[in-house]
C-alpha cells in the first residue's frame, strides 16, 4: 500500500509578500497594495480633526506590520480585540499602557493573558463580563460600552454590543465599588455618514458622568470609538467635518472640564491607502444581465460586501491603461463554486461594455477589513496577499 504524499499547504498570507509576476509580466492577482504614505497622511488628518484626542488604531482593520510601524511612528496607540492582536502590537510597541482591549466579549483566559502582559484598559457591557474583569484585571480602567442606534452607518454594529443607560449606570457603580477607574465607550457604526451621530451617545455619557461624580469620582476617559468613513462609492463628509461636529458635541455635553478623550479609528486610517487588483475571469449574460466574475470574492477578502453594505469604487484596466468608453451596469461575483459569492446584485457597478476576461479591475479604498477576512483556502484559492509601497 502506498501512502500519498502530503498535500502542499496553501500559502498563508504574507505581509511582506514579494510582488509575484505572471507570464504576461503583470503582477498576479488578487493583490492588495497598501500605500504607507497615505496611511501616514490619513492619521495626520484625523489627529488634526480631533485635537487632544488619543487615537488608538483599531488593529483589526489591518494588522500588517508595516502599517503598525507607520502608525507607531505617528504616535498612535492601539485598540485590540484578542490576545493575537495584543502580541502583534507588543512586537512593534512594547509599552502595554498604550493598549485598550475594546472587545466586550473576552474569554477569562484572554483577560488574564492581557493583564499579565500589562494591559490596563478593558471594555465591558454586562454584569457577567464585569465579574470576569473584577476577578482577573485588578486595577484596570473599565470602559462601559453604551449602545448606539447605528443610524447613518453602512456597517452598523447592531445589537451585539453595548448596554442601555440603566445597565451602564449599574456597571459603573459596581466597578467603582471594586476600586476600578471607569470610563464610557461607544461605537456609532462603521463607515458612518452622519457627522452628528456622536451627539446622542455623548449626551448619555454626560448623564452617566453625573452618576460617577455622585460616587466621588469622575470619568477617567471617554472613548469616541471609530466609524469615520473611507472614500467608497457613495460620497461622505471629509474627516475635518466629523472633527468639527464631534468636538462641538464634546464641548456641549462634557465641557468645560472635558475628561481625557480617546478614539478607536480603524477604517479611516487604512482603507483609502489600499487598492485591490483583481482579474476578470469571465463575462457572461444570464437572465438578461451581464455578470462579471473576478478572482476575488466574498471568501477572499471582500466580506464587507455582505448585504452590499460596503460599496467600493471600482475602475477597469487593460494591460495598464484605463478602459474608457461606454459603461453599463453589471452583477459582480467572485470565483468560487458558492452561490453566496456574489458581491453586488442590487448596487449596480458601472463597467465598460467591452470588458473581457483577462482585464483588470481595481477596487479602491480596500485597505481595511479585507486581508484578515480572507479565508485560509476556500475552494483552494489562496488568501489575499498584501504588499506595501
Ligand X SMILES: Cc1ncc(COP(=O)(O)O)c(C=O)c1O
Contacts with ligand X by CB under 6 A lie at 58, 61, 79, 102, 187, 190, 225-228, 264-268
Q: How far is the CB of 60 from ligand X (least distance, A)?
A: 6
293: which strand partners? 282, 333
When the beta carbons of 228 and 373 are compared against ligand X, the nearer one is 228
Angle, vertex CA 60, rays to CA 112 and CA 12, nearest 5: 100
In the complex, minimum distance from the CB of residue 267 to ligand X, in angstroms, rounded to a whole number:
4
With CB atoms as reference, the residue minimizing the distance to ligand X is 226
Rg of the chain over CA atoms, in angstroms? 23
User: Is 145:104 a contact under the CB 8 Å cutoff?
Assistant: yes
Peptide bond into 256 cis (omega under 30): yes
Identity of the residue, 176 or 268, whose beta carbon is nearer to ligand X in the bound complex: 268
CB of 31 vs ligand X, minimal distance in Å: 22
Quote the least distance from Cβ 195 to ligand X, whole Å. 14
Whole-number Å distance between alpha carbons of 300 and 341? 10
d(CA 222, CA 186): 9
Min separation Cβ 272 and ligand X, Å? 12
Q: What 3-state class would DSSP assign to 20?
A: coil
Residue 316 vs 384, nearer CB to ligand X: 384
How far apart are CB 157 and ligand X at their closest, in Å?
A: 6
Write the DSSP assignment of 209-220 as a string of letters. Answer: HHHHHHTT---S
Nearer to ligand X, 61 or 202 (CB): 61
Cα–Cα dist 114/120, whole Å:
8
Residue 193: CB minimum distance to ligand X, A: 12
CA distance 318 to 339: 28
Of 163 and 361, the one with the shorter C-beta distance to ligand X is: 163
Q: Is the dihedral of CA 58, 59, 64, 65 positive or negative?
A: positive
Q: Is 368 exposed, middle or buried (0-12, 13-18, 19+ CB in 10 A)?
A: buried
3-state class percentages of the chain: helix first, strand second, coil last, to nearest 5: 30, 25, 45
> What is the nearest approach in angstroms of ligand X to the Cβ of residue 303?
12
Distance CA 263, CA 186 (A): 9
**Residue number with CB closer to ligand X (60 or 388):** 60
| C-alpha span between 115 and 113 (Å, rounded) | 6
Q: 230 or 323: whose CB is closer to ligand X?
A: 230
Helix (H), strand (E), coil (C) string for 164-186: CHHHHHHHHHHHHHCCCCEEEEC
Give the torsion through C-alpha atoms of 363, 12, 335, 328, to 10 deg: 0
Contacts of 120 (CB under 8 A, 6+ apart): 96, 97, 137, 139, 140, 141
Nearer to ligand X, 58 or 119 (CB): 58
We find the least distance from the C-beta atom of residue 113 to ligand X, in angstroms, to be 18
Least Cβ distance, residue 141 to ligand X (angstroms) = 15
Q: Between 61 and 184, whose beta carbon lies closer to ligand X?
A: 61
Cis peptide, bond prior to residue 30, ω within 30 of zero:
yes
Report the C-alpha gap between 314 and 153 in whole angstroms: 21
Nearer to ligand X, 106 or 385 (CB): 106
Amino acid at each position: 500500500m502506498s501512502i500519498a504524499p502530503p498535500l502542499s499547504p496553501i500559502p498563508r498570507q504574507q505581509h511582506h509578500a514579494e510582488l509575484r509576476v505572471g507570464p504576461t509580466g503583470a503582477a498576479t492577482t488578487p493583490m492588495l497594495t497598501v500605500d504607507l504614505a497615505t496611511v501616514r497622511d490619513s492619521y495626520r488628518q484625523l489627529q488634526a480633526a480631533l485635537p487632544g484626542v488619543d487615537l488608538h488604531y483599531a488593529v483589526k482593520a489591518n494588522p500588517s506590520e508595516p502599517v503598525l510601524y507607520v502608525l507607531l511612528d505617528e504616535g498612535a496607540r492601539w485598540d485590540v480585540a484578542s490576545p493575537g492582536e495584543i502580541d502583534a502590537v507588543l512586537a512593534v510597541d512594547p509599552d502595554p499602557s498604550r493598549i485598550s482591549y475594546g472587545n466586550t466579549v473576552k474569554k477569562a483566559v484572554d483577560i488574564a493573558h492581557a493583564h499579565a502582559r500589562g494591559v490596563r484598559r478593558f471594555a465591558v457591557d454586562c454584569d457577567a463580563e464585569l465579574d470576569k474583569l473584577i476577578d482577573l484585571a485588578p486595577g484596570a480602567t473599565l470602559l462601559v460600552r453604551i449602545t448606539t442606534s447605528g443610524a447613518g452607518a453602512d456597517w452598523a454594529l447592531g445589537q451585539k454590543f453595548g448596554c442601555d443607560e440603566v445597565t451602564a449606570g449599574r456597571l459603573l457603580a459596581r466597578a467603582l465599588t471594586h476600586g476600578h477607574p471607569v470610563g464610557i465607550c461607544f461605537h456609532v457604526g462603521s463607515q458612518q455618514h452622519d457627522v452628528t451621530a456622536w451627539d446622542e451617545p455623548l449626551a448619555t455619557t454626560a448623564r452617566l458622568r453625573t452618576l460617577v461624580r455622585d460616587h466621588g469620582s469622575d470619568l477617567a476617559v471617554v472613548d469616541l470609538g471609530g466609524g469615520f468613513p473611507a472614500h467608497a462609492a457613495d460620497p461622505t463628509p471629509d474627516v475635518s467635518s466629523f472633527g468639527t461636529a464631534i468636538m462641538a458635541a464634546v464641548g456641549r455635553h462634557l465641557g468645560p472640564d472635558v475628561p481625557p478623550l480617546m478614539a478607536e479609528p480603524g477604517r479611516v486610517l487604512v482603507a483609502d491607502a489600499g487598492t485591490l487588483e483583481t482579474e476578470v475571469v469571465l463575462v457572461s449574460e444570464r437572465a438578461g444581465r451581464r455578470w462579471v466574475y473576478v478572482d476575488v470574492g466574498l471568501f477572499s477578502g471582500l466580506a464587507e460586501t455582505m448585504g452590499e453594505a460596503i460599496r467600493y469604487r471600482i475602475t477597469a484596466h487593460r494591460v495598464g491603461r484605463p478602459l474608457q468608453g461606454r459603461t453599463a451596469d453589471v452583477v459582480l461575483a467572485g470565483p468560487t463554486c458558492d452561490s453566496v459569492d456574489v458581491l453586488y446584485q442590487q448596487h449596480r457597478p458601472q463597467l465598460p461594455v467591452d470588458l473581457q476576461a483577462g482585464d483588470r479591475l481595481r477596487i479602491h479604498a480596500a485597505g481595511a477589513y479585507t486581508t484578515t477576512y480572507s479565508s485560509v483556502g476556500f475552494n483552494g484559492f489562496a488568501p489575499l496577499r498584501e504588499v506595501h509601497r
